[in-house]
Amino acid sequence: MALSLCAALIADPHYILTLLLDNLICIMHLNDILHSPIGSLICPRAVKRVMEAAMPRLQCLKADLAHKDLHVFQSMSFINSYTPSDIAVIAKIESIDSLTNLEEIIRASDGAMVARGDLGAQIPLEQVPSIQQKIVKLCRQLNKPVIVASQLLESMIEYPIPTRAEVADVSEAVHQRADALMLSGESAMGRYPDKALIVLSSVSLRIERWWREEKHHEPLELEDVSSSFSDKISEEICISAAKMANKLEVDAVFVYTKGGHMASLLSRCRPDCPIFAFTNSTSVRRRLNLQWGLIPFRLTFSDDMESNLNRTFSLLKARGMIKSGDLVIALSDMLQSIQVMNVP
């Protein structure tokens, strides 16, 4: 499946522990992560919560009350004062102020969450779908992962079967190519958390399969997000690789990346095939789980690219993810290269 599924595990007015696909864990504080409800003062209990998020297996922290980029920078600064900056800050877009300063907030953060429930309480309900689409599109343009959350399958808190409208809502979020969909009350306090996750998965898979069968390749023009000439080369390689993958109908794209940037750029292009991302960093591997289409693995790199290729071929063939004769494209941010080959 191209997108990630998230499920809240603990329901509490101030604190939610959310499990993302494949051990990517996110501590999410619904109130006063870094700001008290009455201002921008640091709350004592926020210190404890941020310290919890500094545990090695925890990868993301959601910044509530992110009304402008300053709040996001304060979150990052506060986290970095306690722990190395491997923890991503996800800005929760939940208010009119957030929408007013939307682009600066997303640029300052490591990603965004569309908090549709909170937004629906502050703006006319009929505007929520278009605002969701705007946020998803902007995050993709700026190469930031985006999570669509709140009330996806709300009726499944009480009932084992979702409404048709909820299925259509999930389908639209998948169609918009969001990076992740998140269950909240359905999994945290609902009567059928397992069924809700199964429904979310099956609907997402069906829409993705239909998208591939119909060959809906998007003509979305992506703006340049490179900050250096080297990054620009990586960006152009990824754009070319995605176009080649779609035109040649390759079976997979392999990307070898140390910091995860090239894998992120490739995900942004939304190629119509699985993307296997290989990195030598455990924290990078976990964070890549949140991005669309990426299936990340940790791999100790060799200086010989041929050796890296052969090892990954063996690994994925053993897991049944590829087979001999498959056509693949391989990218590397270490060599700034692109290759097309058949799996031996």
For 40-91, the pLDDT digits (tens) are 334 445 545 555 554 555 556 555 555 555 555 566 565 555 555 567 778 8
Whole-angstrom Cα distance, residue 335 to residue 90?
A: 31
Out of 3.40.1380.20, 3.90.550.10, 3.30.365.10, 3.40.50.720, select the CATH number for domain 229-343.
3.40.1380.20
Rounded average pLDDT per 10-residue block, the chain, 344 residues? 66 43 41 38 49 53 55 59 65 88 88 92 94 96 94 96 96 93 90 93 91 68 82 93 93 96 94 95 89 94 93 96 97 92 96
What is the CATH architecture assignment of 4-214?
Answer: Alpha-Beta Barrel (3.20)
pTM for the full predicted model = 0.83
Q: Where are the domains of the chain?
A: 4-214, 229-343
